Amino acid sequence: MDENTKRRWDVRFAFVTVFLSLLTLAVGAWQFIENQRSKFLLSSRLQNEAAELDFRREVYLIRLDALSKTSNAVGRVVTDLDLERNIDESFGAFLEIYWGTLVLVEGGDLERNMVAFRREVLSFKDGWADETDLKARALELLEDIRLGLQSEQKVSH
């Protein structure tokens, strides 16, 4: 092989080497960028899931608090009946919850039972219903609250 041919082969190998080096750098850069993008997407997804979980937990705690206050207010109305006290104050506490926070978290059977209990108290105050009817309606509402909390608890775990 003459010197000129060797030189051409050396130049060709140099070009091939440079091309392979650049190709390797490009593939490495692409892999790095894809890895960073995947990490970013995973981090974003995890942050969104955490935010959604925090939101659900907050809504659950608001619901739990509202239902707890509702149970206490219903219990006060029934207790006032048992003690033959005027139920206006305890019914007022119930109405505050009824028209307040509970509007944000109620629905379905709970809403129907809340309306039914309110109507039953008003009927009792007007003399159309007796204590037994009012207590039965209170028990239905309290049972619905209990069942709602149990189903909510299963969903939140």
As a whole number of angstroms, the distance between CA 126 and CA 55 comes to: 43
Query: Does residue 8 form part of some domain?
Result: no
As a whole number of angstroms, the distance between CA 120 and CA 128 comes to: 9
Q: What is the DSSP letter of 129?
A: S
| Amino acid code (one letter) for 106 | E
- Average pLDDT for runs of 10 along the chain of length 157: 85 89 92 94 94 90 87 90 84 88 76 88 87 89 85 58
Query: Does residue 34 form part of some domain?
Result: no
Q: What is the DSSP letter of 127?
A: T
**Model pTM score:** 0.66
Token duo for residue 10:
């050396």
Q: What's the confidence (pLDDT) of residue 156?
A: 53
Q: What's the confidence (pLDDT) of residue 112?
A: 87
Query: Does residue 11 form part of some domain?
Result: no
Q: What's the confidence (pLDDT) of residue 24?
A: 93
Q: What's the confidence (pLDDT) of residue 55?
A: 92
The total domain count for the chain is 1
Q: Which structural domain, as residue segments, surrounds residue 56?
A: 48-156
Secondary structure of residue 100 in the 3-state scheme: coil
pLDDT in tens, 116-127: 998 999 998 888
As a whole number of angstroms, the distance between CA 133 and CA 126 comes to: 13
Token duo for residue 64:
């739990």
Query: Does residue 16 form part of some domain?
Result: no
Query: Does residue 43 form part of some domain?
Result: no
Query: Does residue 33 form part of some domain?
Result: no
Name which of 81, 80, 117, 122 is nearest 102 in CA terms.
117
Query: Does residue 18 form part of some domain?
Result: no
Query: Does residue 26 form part of some domain?
Result: no
